[in-house]
Amino acid sequence: MAFIELIDVHKSFGDNKVLRGINLSIEKGESLVILGKSGIGKSVTLLVLTRLLPLDRGKVIINGIDTTDLPEDKLIPIRKKISYVFQSGALFDSLTVYENIAFPMIGEGYDEDEIDKRVFDIMDLLNISEFWDLYPDEISGGVKKIVSIGRALAANPDCILYDEPTTGIDPYAAKKLSEVIRRINIDMGITTILVTHDMRCAKIVADKIAFLHEGVIYFHGSFGEFVESDLPVLEEFKGSLPYMAKYLKGG
């Protein structure tokens, strides 16, 4: 059974028909990377998936539960199992790295020792323990992104959604971050859905690529199949990307 299933999902804003019949199925533990041109609806797809945005038509099924018509209070426990790493990272500036990561655990019935152990386990896993008592404006952009992933992990999710996690950090930090995301996916079995324009990130993270075009999933396959595909729309997209030439030559 698929873990997350989008069936014929439609979403418009006024006359702007953004999603026009998205069909997508994600298995438990799978890592799916969503690609597509800017403004095509990648972020909207993540938002309707978590039902942070209502959909116009279609179904969103999560772990066998049809969430389409669920009231807000019934959505809350489902959303708790799906952490969202926003592009900005959105850390709390007045909290330390430790406190930012601990934040989702507060009020969830953990005692102080449990919180402490879990926060340090997560910081160890992500190699950021040395920064535990620093504030967001004292750490680099790359480390901030990793802390925001740590905070997502602290919520003990089954699935993490990442919207352009490597945007705004240097290529070396972006590669490291992509490796962290993949490690979390494989070692912890966390289902991963990631939106990016960064092909190096896509190559490291993806089991499958879903390419969004004109409101539908135009292509669904492995990264290798994506690179090999000669569909004209994909050729045009790939031609516009930095780093892609290297991969087309198999580098």
Ligand X SMILES: Nc1ncnc2c1ncn2[C@@H]1O[C@H](COP(=O)(O)OP(=O)(O)OP(=O)(O)O)[C@@H](O)[C@H]1O
**Residues found near Mg ion in the complex (CB under 5 A):** 43
Q: Which does 166 bind (CB under 5 to 8 A by kind): ligand X, Mg ion, none?
A: none
**Euclidean distance between CA atoms 108 and 110, whole angstroms:** 6
Q: Which does 18 bind (CB under 5 to 8 A by kind): ligand X, Mg ion, none?
A: ligand X
Residue nearer to ligand X on the CB measure, 44 or 154: 44
Provide the minimum distance between the beta carbon of 7 and Mg ion in the complex, in angstroms, as a whole number: 22
Provide the minimum distance between the beta carbon of 242 and ligand X in the complex, in angstroms, as a whole number: 15
Binding site for ligand X (CB under 6 A): 13, 16, 18, 36, 38-44
Cα 84 to chain centroid distance, Å, stands at 7
Residue nearer to ligand X on the CB measure, 16 or 94: 16
What DSSP element (H or E) covers 122?
helix 112-125
* Sheet-wide strand order for 16-26: 16-26, 4-13, 57-62, 65-66
Q: Which does 92 bind (CB under 5 to 8 A by kind): Mg ion, ligand X, none?
A: none
**Euclidean distance between CA atoms 83 and 33, whole angstroms:** 16
Provide the minimum distance between the beta carbon of 37 and Mg ion in the complex, in angstroms, as a whole number: 11
Q: Which does 165 bind (CB under 5 to 8 A by kind): ligand X, Mg ion, none?
A: none
Provide the minimum distance between the beta carbon of 91 and ligand X in the complex, in angstroms, as a whole number: 20
Provide the minimum distance between the beta carbon of 6 and ligand X in the complex, in angstroms, as a whole number: 14
Q: What is the DSSP annotation of 143-209?
A: HHHHHHHHHHHHT--SEEEEESTTTTS-HHHHHHHHHHHHHHHHHH--EEEEE-S-HHHHHHH-SEE
Residue nearer to ligand X on the CB measure, 38 or 94: 38
Residue nearer to Mg ion on the CB measure, 36 or 131: 36
Provide the minimum distance between the beta carbon of 68 and ligand X in the complex, in angstroms, as a whole number: 19
Of the CA atoms within 13 Å of residue 6, those in its CB half-sphere come to 27
Residues 6+ apart with CB under 8 A from 234: 211, 218, 219, 226
Residue nearer to ligand X on the CB measure, 40 or 146: 40
Q: What phi and psi, each to the nearest 5 degrees, are found at residue 33?
A: -110, 125
Residue nearer to Mg ion on the CB measure, 45 or 100: 45
**Euclidean distance between CA atoms 77 and 158, whole angstroms:** 12
Provide the minimum distance between the beta carbon of 89 and ligand X in the complex, in angstroms, as a whole number: 15
Tell which residue, 166, 100, 163, has the closest CA to residue 135.
Answer: 100
Residue nearer to ligand X on the CB measure, 20 or 28: 20
Question: Exposed, middle or buried, 53 (CB in 10 Å: 0-12/13-18/19+)?
Answer: middle
- 35: tokens are 């690609």
